[in-house]
Amino acid sequence: MSDTNLTDSAPVQAPPGVVDCDIHPTVSAMSDLSPYLTDRWKGYMREYGANFRAAFANAMVYPRYNRDGGSRMDARPPSGAPAGSDLPFMRQQHLDPNRVDYGVLQPLRPNGIGARNQAFGESLTAAVNEWQIGSWFGPERRLKGSLMLTREDPAAALREIERHGANENFVQVSVLPHGLEPLGRQRYWPIFEAAAALGKPLGIHVGGVSGMAPTSAGWCSYYVEEHHSKCEAMQSLVTSMVIEGVFERFPKLRVVLVEGGFVWVPSLCWRLDKHWKTLRSEVPHLKRAPSEYVREHFWYTSQPIEEPEDPRHMLDAMDWVGWDKILFSTDYPHWDFDDPKFAFARLRLTPEQHRLLFRDNAKNLYGLR
């Protein structure tokens, strides 16, 4: 850690024109979604809920440290509503002081993506999308939406793209990494085809409930393990999409991995390339080394940023991943939030690196002006 942080001088000024690629809005109560649900599904939601493939009806298997799904302790608005549910407070606490020009919404709670009743999942997901319009990027032009899609029901996903794909305020379509099968499997390809045709990136935020253990060796004990397992899952996700040949079939598809880290990307690429050379007879559909697909098709949000003791190590990793591929994100209002004033301060970025990371990469990728 840098001793420069010990200073008690006036607070550092946020850099201007930040694009924050990971902001979590949530509902103050489930009734916020009522305007967008039929009576049938309102009743279903009240009585049965999403019925995820997990032990607890209303809690996470690995309890977080802070309330509101693991939110900053200071992120509840004065009304006491859940962190992330109050737009004026979000403006006051985050968008204004952190000089956010654009923020990309990642609505994870509630979500219908992992609902076992697929008809309910489709309706709830559609409601969450309507609610993004009505309560978030409708009233606040700095916010942009992620069009949430039910990946296990690609037909429903295509209907949702039909409904809202053209809305320019949905800057990406989104699925979650954990589902019934690895995302590269062909059952999911209709979603990729639609995303590529739409010309919008596919945003994949860590999460999803698959019913499978969070590691290939079974159920771990602790949140610290589960937290990290999300990062391993992203490594598996890249592997799956590349090896299955998704990018041979959809060469225009662009994928953003959100909150899954990126410092692991170089090692994964070296490993993929090395063993692909040995095992390429198994995957003749791959015309290029796996790392080339990764380099061309994946982007990564920055939070939670790693903090190696030696800042040069971080700069190495960012050099190797590519300065054009990393998108700044805060994860507001969650506890592992990265503050744009501090998160990269130790690295002493060049003005160009700074501009790419905090603003230009995201603007280019999402077509923001």
Partner 1 sequence: MIAPEKMETVLSLSHGAIDCDVHPALANTDVLLPYLDDYWREMVQIRTVENLDLNSYPPAVPLSGRPDWRPPRGKPGSDLGLLQRDALDAFDVRCAICNTLYGGPYLPNDDFAAALARGINDWIAKEWLDRDRRLRASIVIAPENPELAADEINRVAPDRRFVQVMVLAAGERPLGKRTYWPIYRAAERHGLPIGIHAGSSFRHPPTSLGWGSYYLEDYVAHAQAFQHQLLSLVAEGVFVEFPTLKVVLIESGITWLPAFLWRFDKTWRGIRTETPWVDRPPTQIVRDHVRLTLQPVDEPPEPARFERLIDHIGSEEMLLFSTDYPHWQFEGSDVFPAGLSDQHRRKIMIDNPLQTYPRLLEARQEAVG
Partner 2 sequence: MPQRYVVATAGEIPVGGSKAATVAGREIGIFNLGGEYFALLNRCPHEGGPLCKGRRTALFESKRPGTFTSSRPGEILRCPWHGWEFDIRTGRSYCDPDKVRTRAYAVTVEPGRHLVEGPYTAETYSVSVDENYIVVEV
Strand order from edge to edge, sheet including 143-148: 18-23, 100-105, 143-148, 170-175, 202-205, 255-258, 298-301, 326-327
Tell me how far apart the alpha carbons of residues 22 and 321 are, in angstroms, rounded to a whole number: 20
Count CB-CB contacts under 10 A for residue 187. 13
From candidates 256, 272, 294, 365, binder to partner 1 by CB under 8 A: 272
Tell me if 343 contacts partner 2 by CB under 8 A.
Answer: yes
Q: Which does 337 bind (CB under 5 to 8 A by kind): partner 1, partner 2, none?
A: partner 2
Identify which of residues 290 and 304 has a Cβ nearer to partner 2 in the complex. 304
Beta strands in 64-184, from DSSP E residues, in sequence order: 100-105, 143-148, 170-175
Q: Which does 124 bind (CB under 5 to 8 A by kind): partner 1, partner 2, none?
A: none
Q: At a CB cut-off of 8 Å and minimum separation 6, what does 364 contact? A: none
Q: Alpha carbon 335 to chain centroid distance?
A: 15
CB-based contacts of 76-82 (< 8 A; 24+ apart in sequence): 81/28, 82/26, 82/27, 82/28
From candidates 122, 153, 259, 338, binder to partner 2 by CB under 8 A: 338
Residue span 69-98 as binding mask against partner 2, x where in contact by CB under 8 A, dash where not: ---xxx------------------------
The pair phi, psi for residue 314, each rounded to 5°, is -65, -40
From candidates 188, 192, 335, 358, binder to partner 2 by CB under 8 A: 335
Tell me how far apart the alpha carbons of residues 70 and 64 are, in angstroms, rounded to a whole number: 5
From candidates 53, 249, 288, 341, binder to partner 2 by CB under 8 A: 341
Category of 332 on φ-ψ map: left (φ > 0), alpha (ψ -120 to 50) or beta: beta
Using the contact rule CB under 8 A, the part of the chain among 160-168, 197-205, 341-349, 353-361 near partner 2 is 341-349
From candidates 98, 118, 167, 240, binder to partner 1 by CB under 8 A: 240
Identify which of residues 70 and 103 has a Cβ nearer to partner 1 in the complex. 70
Residue 358: strand, helix, or coil: helix
Using the contact rule CB under 8 A, the part of the chain among 98-106, 113-121, 196-204, 258-266 near partner 1 is 258-266
In angstroms, what is the minimal distance from the CB of 346 to partner 1? 13
Tell me how far apart the alpha carbons of residues 268 and 275 are, in angstroms, rounded to a whole number: 11
Identify which of residues 243 and 256 has a Cβ nearer to partner 1 in the complex. 243
From candidates 130, 232, 324, 339, binder to partner 2 by CB under 8 A: 339
Q: Name the residue type at position 318.
A: M
Q: Name the residue type at position 176.
A: L
Tell me how far apart the alpha carbons of residues 157 and 173 are, in angstroms, rounded to a whole number: 10
Using only C-alpha atoms, the chain has a radius of gyration, in whole angstroms, of 20
Residue span 292-331 as binding mask against partner 1, x where in contact by CB under 8 A, dash where not: ------------x-xxx----xx-xx--x-----------
Residue span 188-227 as binding mask against partner 1, x where in contact by CB under 8 A, dash where not: ----------------------x-xxxxxxxxxxxxxx-x
In angstroms, what is the minimal distance from the CB of 133 to partner 1? 31
From candidates 48, 219, 270, 342, binder to partner 2 by CB under 8 A: 342
From candidates 48, 65, 219, 270, binder to partner 2 by CB under 8 A: 65
Identify which of residues 84 and 184 has a Cβ nearer to partner 1 in the complex. 184
Identify which of residues 92 and 186 has a Cβ nearer to partner 2 in the complex. 92
Q: Which 102-131 residues touch partner 1, going by CB under 8 A?
A: none
Tell me how far apart the alpha carbons of residues 163 and 198 are, in angstroms, rounded to a whole number: 12
Count of alpha carbons within 13 angstroms of residue 155, beta-carbon side: 2
Identify which of residues 271 and 341 has a Cβ nearer to partner 1 in the complex. 271
Listed in sequence order, the DSSP H helices in 132-264 are 154-164, 189-198, 223-243, 246-249
Identify which of residues 35 and 308 has a Cβ nearer to partner 1 in the complex. 308
Binding site for partner 2 (CB under 8 A): 1, 3, 5-6, 8, 10-12, 65-66, 72-74, 335-339, 341-343
